[in-house]
Amino acid sequence: MISDIVLERIGQQILARIQERTLDGIDMDGKRFKAYSTKPFNMPFAPPFITVINKMASLNQAFYFKKNNNLWINIQGGYAALKASAKPNFKNVNLTYTGKMLNALTVTQVGNNRIKIGFIDKNQQDKMQWNIQKGRDPMGISDTELQTILSNYGINQILKSLIALPDGERY
């Protein structure tokens, strides 16, 4: 039986590894995330994007229109153009526009030789699910990564039943 304190520490190290790898644009299998779409899309005009969208509109990369008496925007170069305009040094897909989604990932439960990693914020969980559906799944940890973490605690075997991730186990 592993103590809850040790499980919490292991969980925090797993989170750190997932976040570190994600910031590098790499999934748990060591592959780069699928590129952001360049297909034009429409979205409601939203405060987090005002400066970026106005800049894109001035360059004819985005266009305003009304839909159901609300202001919408059409982004010509897809999410890839929006991200590149917002973050000029953007190079790799790393699932961080604001960083909120990745920072919302947390250890939600420990006990009974089990660690549960997930989200408390439903909006951030929904964003993660959307990314997973688009082929950008950072959730999970490889056998090698897990064994490295567990060896810090004198645990010499991989306990595949140890980790529970959002929306079922992909381990």
- Whether 169 is covered by a domain: the verdict is no
Residues 40 and 75 sit within 8 Å (Cβ to Cβ): yes
Residues 33 and 94 sit within 8 Å (Cβ to Cβ): yes
pTM beyond 0.75: the answer is yes
Strand order in the sheet with 105-111: 105-111, 114-119, 163-164
Residue 160: the pLDDT is 55
Domain of 105 in residue numbering reads as: 4-34+95-164
Residue numbers in the chain where pLDDT is lower than 50:
168-171
- Whether 119 is covered by a domain: the verdict is yes
Residue 86: the pLDDT is 87
Together in a domain, 65 and 109: no
- Whether 74 is covered by a domain: the verdict is yes
Residue 169: the pLDDT is 43
Residue 171: the pLDDT is 39
Together in a domain, 30 and 99: yes
Together in a domain, 115 and 57: no
Residue 165: the pLDDT is 63
SS3 at position 86: helix
Residue 16: the pLDDT is 95
Together in a domain, 99 and 154: yes
